[in-house]
Amino acid sequence: MLLWQIFWLFARVALFSWGGGPASMALMQRETTAVGWATPEEFADALAVGNALPGPIAPQVSAYIGYKMAGVSGAIAAAGGTVLPTTILMLIMVVLFFGIKDSPTIKAMLVAVRPVVVGLLLWTTYEMAVSVFGVKKLGWVAALTQGWDKMAIIAVTFILLTFTKINPVFIILGAAGLGYLAYR
């Protein structure tokens, strides 16, 4: 029964979130924390681990939480729930979309959906910031003041990704090395 619940929760997230893996993180966080499968801190850890690995983020984060809930079987159920329904839907939609992609109605709908995806990503970023900086314990001012080092890491990451062509993997590996040296 638990494996079915895991599969179904992640299938719902996959089917009802728009904008791909990163955009689904907001809904995935809301759903998994609502049922008590992950705390915001655990979700931030899952997201960090998933971002450190190559490949799509949604199945990685879902597998992390599925594993926490039910071991390897839970990880498989979670990743399957994340991937199978949307893959089947995508195969159907690809066939249909190429017939309607130039429709003014479809184009108009996509104009409104794209900013929603940005909003979902911003919400996920906000929720992660609350967790990473310990805002609930300290409040925003104290959390940002005490977390100046994390703000610096965020700023350097943003600058590197915006103004260079450095692969994010190297930024993540550099941050892991910095964490090993500075935070042990």
State the maximum Cα–Cα separation within the chain, in Å, rounded to a whole number.
56
Query: Considering the entire predicted model, what is its pTM?
Result: 0.63
- Rounded CA separation 183/7 (Å): 36
pLDDT tens-digit map of 128-182: 888 888 888 888 888 888 999 999 999 999 999 999 999 888 898 899 899 999 9
Q: Where in the chain does DSSP place strands (E)?
A: none
- Rounded CA separation 74/77 (Å): 5
Identity of residue 150: K
Mean pLDDT of 76-101: 90
